[in-house]
Amino acid sequence: MRRVAIVGAGPAGMYAAEALSKSGRVDIDILDRLPVPCGLVRYGVAPDHVAIRSVRDTLDGILDLPGVSFLGNVEVGRDVSVEQLSRFYDAIVWCYGAPTDRSLGIDGENLAGSISATAFVNWYTGHPDADRSFDTLLTGPSTAAVIGVGNVAVDVARILVSPIHALRTTEMPDHVLAALEASTIKQVHVLGRRGPAHASFTTKELKELGEIEGVRVIVESRDLVRSDETVAALENDKVASRNFAVLEEWASRDWPHEPRSLWLHFYARPQRIRGDAAVAWLDVARTEVDAEGRARDTGQTWELATDLVIRSVGYRGEPMPGVPFDAARGIVPNTDGRVTDHGSVAPGQYTAGWIKRGPSGIIGTNKKDATATVAALLEDLDDLPVPAERGALPSHLSAIGIVTVNRDGWRRISREECARGVASGRDRVTIHDRVDLLTVSQ
């Protein structure tokens, strides 16, 4: 049997494994630097989105398919080089995602109190590498500004204003729940640099913001003017049109006084974050949108007093040493999933998911994407050279003392998470500590 390494056990990697297994022509090792599979389904999807998180069960089932093995706690680049991997495997599929955040490129971005949504999401989902200084970040401040109007910004805003009892049923680790319970945030401002017709959040996610107990949503009518440009944009986009209707209804609703407020500002481009030692103000330029859909400053500015800035302007792919990388797009360059290096196909290397196409789409998008990549791989398979040391990865890892987590180890973690949930009446509690994860897995 030929042997394929998939690097990254998120949705793209798991769906690639499923498609490869179905072919019956290869054995598959799914490698992940974390001791657990599922990637952003575990560390991206908001814990209160229980239905979406249940995709984990589907992904978990892929580990039972013929020829599929999981090798968690293995970091390519640290525990095994790309050059070694290509000696151990007939083909490699890079599915390592887009782990970092895009930057705003404005002054004050690195002040204390200015954080990335990626880091915040890592923290509230219990990622082993989460920044634990966030445990105290929300105690004291009353106002937070979230930059960006994508679904991640909506998740972050919702988590910040949700009443604690709505989160207590989720898998969030106890220290996260304690921090959110102690949170003093009362006002959250979400800022989009273009108009509502150009926001990238989806309607279901947007609507949820209007259904949070104890939260009043504020949208200014000046942001909802149906200019020619807005009308043209809405005509071409059903989701935008539905979003617009939701926002109009909120703007006209007579909201009761509530303990927490959520503001949605559009045509609001952050210019500068100000403060002596920490965030205190956000300078915002009022924009208009031109016929091409680009934001253009109008010359008007306003300022927002805020204690925190959470930058949610998209994820970004990172280079992996030894793997071709398109720095401008933040992806592994490829033609239909075949990795290319300066325009030529790199034999035996493939890619799927966010590192193939950029950070967009829903979880299901990765199935189609990964299946297309696997089709290319299977087309090439008979012509790929036989690797010098096929199957030698496990012995290499044990020789250098790496403790790996296999499918049964992951299932032990999963069972333990469910057992720990029982104590607090929950289905599961995320084990967040890497040592704890490894101990439980063994």
Nearer to ligand NAP, 35 or 97 (CB): 97
Stretch that binds ligand NAP, among 19-27, 149-157, 163-171, 334-342 (CB under 6 A): 149-157
**By CB under 6 A, residue 11 contacts ligand NAP:** no
Shortest Cβ distance from residue 96 to ligand NAP (Å)? 16
Residues 17 and 28: beta-carbon distance below 8 Å: yes
Which residue in 63, 4, 104, 158 sits closest to 309, CA to CA?
A: 104
Among 1, 50, 164, 362, binds ligand NAP (CB under 6 A): 362
Rounded to whole angstroms, the Cα distance separating 350 from 363 reads: 19
Shortest Cβ distance from residue 73 to ligand NAP (Å)? 26
**By CB under 6 A, residue 163 contacts ligand NAP:** no
Rounded to whole angstroms, the Cα distance separating 414 from 316 reads: 29
Rounded to whole angstroms, the Cα distance separating 433 from 301 reads: 44
Rounded to whole angstroms, the Cα distance separating 115 from 136 reads: 13
Instruction: Give me the amino acid identity at 432.
Output: H
Among 99, 113, 148, 324, binds ligand NAP (CB under 6 A): 148
Shortest Cβ distance from residue 367 to ligand NAP (Å)? 15
Which residue in 268, 358, 277, 284 sits closest to 317, CA to CA?
A: 358
Stretch that binds ligand NAP, among 148-156, 329-337, 344-352, 372-380 (CB under 6 A): 148-156
Burial (Cβ within 10 Å: 0-12, 13-18, ≥19) of residue 25: middle
Among 144, 149, 188, 438, binds ligand NAP (CB under 6 A): 149
Q: Which of residues 313-342 bind ligand NAP (CB under 6 A)?
A: 313-315
Burial (Cβ within 10 Å: 0-12, 13-18, ≥19) of residue 92: buried
Q: Which of residues 193-222 bind ligand NAP (CB under 6 A)?
A: 193-194, 198-200, 205
Among 227, 360, 395, 442, binds ligand NAP (CB under 6 A): 360
Rounded to whole angstroms, the Cα distance separating 418 from 433 reads: 16
**By CB under 6 A, residue 99 contacts ligand NAP:** no
Nearer to ligand NAP, 266 or 350 (CB): 266
**By CB under 6 A, residue 152 contacts ligand NAP:** yes
Quick check: helix, strand or coil at residue 70? strand
Nearer to ligand NAP, 233 or 413 (CB): 233
**By CB under 6 A, residue 33 contacts ligand NAP:** no
Residues 6+ apart with CB under 8 A from 39: 8, 9, 10, 11, 12, 13, 32, 97
Stretch that binds ligand NAP, among 6-14, 77-85, 152-160, 337-345 (CB under 6 A): 152-160
Measured from the Cβ of residue 294, the count of other Cβ atoms closer than 10 Å reads 12
Stretch that binds ligand NAP, among 23-31, 107-115, 279-287, 357-365 (CB under 6 A): 357-365
Instruction: Give me the amino acid identity at 216.
Output: R
Which residue lies nearest ligand NAP, judged by its C-beta?
150
Nearer to ligand NAP, 6 or 152 (CB): 152
Nearer to ligand NAP, 49 or 390 (CB): 49
Nearer to ligand NAP, 28 or 153 (CB): 153
The b/e string for 64-83 (b: 16+ C-beta within 10 A; e otherwise) is eeebbbbbbbbebbebbebe
Question: Which structure tokens are listed for 229?
Answer: 């440009």
Among 9, 137, 153, 185, binds ligand NAP (CB under 6 A): 153
Rounded to whole angstroms, the Cα distance separating 155 from 148 reads: 11
Q: Which of residues 373-432 bind ligand NAP (CB under 6 A)?
A: none
**By CB under 6 A, residue 150 contacts ligand NAP:** yes
Measured from the Cβ of residue 141, the count of other Cβ atoms closer than 10 Å reads 18
Residues that bind ligand NAP (CB under 6 A): 104, 147-153, 155, 192-194, 198-200, 205, 269, 312-315, 359-362
